[in-house]
Structure 1
Amino acid sequence: MRLMAFDYGTKRIGIAVTDPLQIIATALTTVHPDDIFKYLKEYLQQEQIETFVVGRPLQMDGTDSESAQHVVGFVRKLKKEFPAINVVEVDERFTSKMASSAIAQSGMKKNKKQNKGLVDTISATIILQTYMDTKGF
């Protein structure tokens, strides 16, 4: 079964998944928040997900950031819509900066660097990899 991670934003949600053996985290797509549950229901008809990993935006002192309230609502709805799937949250404080840095270092063309959706999917991949690293995958 796969793991799936989310970089939740009010404009886009970056999504990443593992392979079925949970070895490699890969960027999947971005979805508008209004469409996320429809997307997940369709995805889950094709693939099995063991755990949803959601990035939790925190301040430098470890308290919730302003955008954390949106994540709390998203997590609550994930648990309600998909009660059989475990939901965990991980600290996502530096994922967007790390994603932007990775894109810059990859040598992608300028317009690709400015693609916020790409940053979101790479951020989700970093969130997923962070979770996998802490669990010893």
Structure 2
Amino acid sequence: MARIMALDYGKVRTGIAVTDELQLIASGLTTVTTDKLFDFIESYLHKEEVERIIVGEPKQMSGQVSASETLIEKFLKQFKTRFPKMPIERQDERFTSKMAVQSMLEAGVKKRKRQNKALVDEISATLILQAYLERN
């Protein structure tokens, strides 16, 4: 089987997570600057077989999409042009950043490392991917 990749897309940084080849476990992969995201994905797809990409869908408490959805929609259009055969699915990402920080607190991660936004984004991508796996 191929891996599944998840993206916690952001204006500045994007957290990335992937599953194992059996699609059982979601693990953080890295965080890249969003301006280098397409290059990173292209490079990764040359090395690993990926079945689909899951992109976080930011929603407000009311269920309405958040303001950052406009940026994500632009990214998705560019993605479909660049990788037309790669399936994309969306996953609700409400509370993933808060859950990421909470999981670091529970793991005893020091305050300085908890303030590392790149690490928070990577963990958020992992939570998005885990939620997707549990949903399916």
Task: Report SS of the residue matched to 2:46.
Answer: helix
Aligned ranges for residues 31-110 of structure 1 at < 5 Å?
A: 31-110=32-111
Q: Letter of the aligned partner of 2:81 in structure 1?
A: K
Give the alignment's TM-score, normalised by structure 1. 0.95
Shift of 1:71: 1.0
**Equivalence for 1:17:** 18
C-alpha distance after superposition, 1:49-76 (max 9, x if no partner): 1010000111111111111111111122
User: Where does residue 133 of structure 1 map in the other structure?
Assistant: 134
With normalisation by structure 2, the TM-score equals: 0.96
| Structure 1 outlier segments of 4+, above 6 Å | none
Alpha-carbon deviation of 1:83? 1.4
User: What secondary structure does 2:121 align onto?
Assistant: helix
By how many angstroms is 1:110 displaced?
1.8
Distance in 2 between residues matched to 1:48 and 1:3, nearest whole Å: 9
Over aligned residues, Cα RMSD in angstroms? 0.8
Where structure 2 has 5 or more consecutive residues not aligned to the other structure, the ranges are: none
Q: CA deviation at 1:15?
A: 0.2
Distance 1:75 1:50 in 2: 17
